[in-house]
Amino acid sequence: MNNKEIYLDNSATTKVCQKSIDAVLNAMQNDYGNATSLHRKGFEAEKLIINAKKEICKALMCNENEIFFTSGATESNNMAIIGSVLANKRRGKKIITTVIEHSSVLEPTKFLESMGYEIVRIKPNENGEFLPIDFFNAVDDNTVLVSTMFVNNETGTILPVCEIAKAVKAKNKQTIFHTDAVQGFLKMPLKVKNTDIDLLSFSGHKIYAPKGIGGLYIKKGTKIQPLLYGGGQQNGIRVGTDSVPLISGLGQAVAEILPQREKLLSNYKELKNYLISMLENNDNVIINSKQNDAPYIVNISVKKIRSEIMLHYLEQFNIYVSSGSACSKGANSHVLSAFGYSKDRVDTALRISFSKDTTKEDLEFFVEKLNDGINSLAKMK
């Protein structure tokens, strides 16, 4: 039995880093004032929010007045999609997205579809790619919004969001462009400065900050209708008492990871190549992620062994992987189906996702126990 936890489900959530924990505790125990209060304790809390915004702005290359804090990616995506569409009704009734989006994008577009909006869902081409020309062709004078993720949470597929945004604006400069950057923020290079991105969602718990905090970049001049009312915080865009501890924790996580981003990205590439080298000649394993996908996510299918069975087999050795999106709770992956994979391949898929703490030794033990599981579970059939 392995006593060490080998956590390979970092696309679901990450372990909170110590600097973030310290920042949260400080804001709870010392700088605990309400950030809108006029006294010194309020000012001290407000300074923590300002400092967190500065760190995020370094990462995205934007202005502090363009960052708004939310409870996480789901709220950010809902605010971006529903809020921008309702605030810009005159621009049209057509929304363009993709078939591989996270549920927090899929469901808001379904909601708007029920209100009479036309939803166009772009599919990948035969090579599993999303090309800017496909979005260009889909946009017309009636298109109010295009929303596409930056990095897919299940396969690691990278969408060329800057090029897609440019193509969208070339066809209709009034169309708003939103990207769900949750799986790419602070992992893959992406700066909004000098791009056509109007809205960008990000989340804290994917980057070593606590759960319950995220944000939305809103380019200056982009109209958003609030989803909540009362209070007037954050210029009325996202009202409610600011969660200073969580915001401060997010800021410190960004401050810690940003200087390491290039080094971590290089390490992820090495880890991905190493993992694939151990699996690619295994006749029982199919590698679903492509070489040019995000290097910190590897999606595989283990022939004839359902995802949940293998997941729980590995769990007894303190190895933690995912059967797909953590938000789907075991439901069949619409993402893998969208890439044209067979039902058997979808039903047997596992997602392995790395963190800054993942080592080659972790991956070696995972592969060892994966092979043990293939042998022992096959005998039980």
pLDDT surpasses 80 at 360? yes
Task: Give the whole-angstrom CA distance, residue 50 versus residue 88.
Answer: 29
Q: How far apart are CA 320 and CA 354, in angstroms?
A: 11
pLDDT of residue 1: 56
2 has pLDDT over 70: no
Question: Over 70: is that where the pLDDT of 17 sits?
Answer: yes
**Is residue 299 predicted with pLDDT exceeding 90?**
yes
Average pLDDT over residues 62-78: 97
Position 273: which residue type?
Answer: N
| Residue 207, CA atoms < 13 Å, CB-side half-sphere | 32
Task: Please tell me the predicted confidence (pLDDT) of residue 327.
Answer: 52
Rounded mean pLDDT, 2-13? 92
Mean of all residue pLDDT scores within the chain = 94
Which of 146-160, 209-223, 332-346 is least confident? Answer: 332-346
For residue 381, the model assigns a pLDDT of 60
Q: Decide if 109 contacts 119 (C-beta within 8 A).
A: yes
Strand 285-287 to strand 94-98: parallel, antiparallel, or no bridges (unpaired)?
Answer: unpaired
Average pLDDT over residues 57-79: 97
pLDDT of 257: 97
Active site residues: 327
pTM over 0.75: yes
181-235 pLDDT tens trace? 999 999 999 999 999 999 999 999 999 999 999 999 999 999 999 999 998 898 8
Q: What digits encode the pLDDT tens for the residues 241-294?
A: 899 999 999 999 999 999 999 999 999 999 999 999 999 999 999 999 999 999
Banded pLDDT at 333 (limits 50, 70, 90)? confident
Distance between CA 375 and CA 366 in Å, rounded?
Answer: 14
Does position 329 have pLDDT exceeding 60, yes or no? no
CA separation for the pair 254, 242 (Å, rounded): 18
pLDDT (mean) for 165-171: 98
b/e code 266-300 from CB counts within 10 Å (16+ = b): ebbeebbeebeebbeebebbbebbbeebbbbbbbb
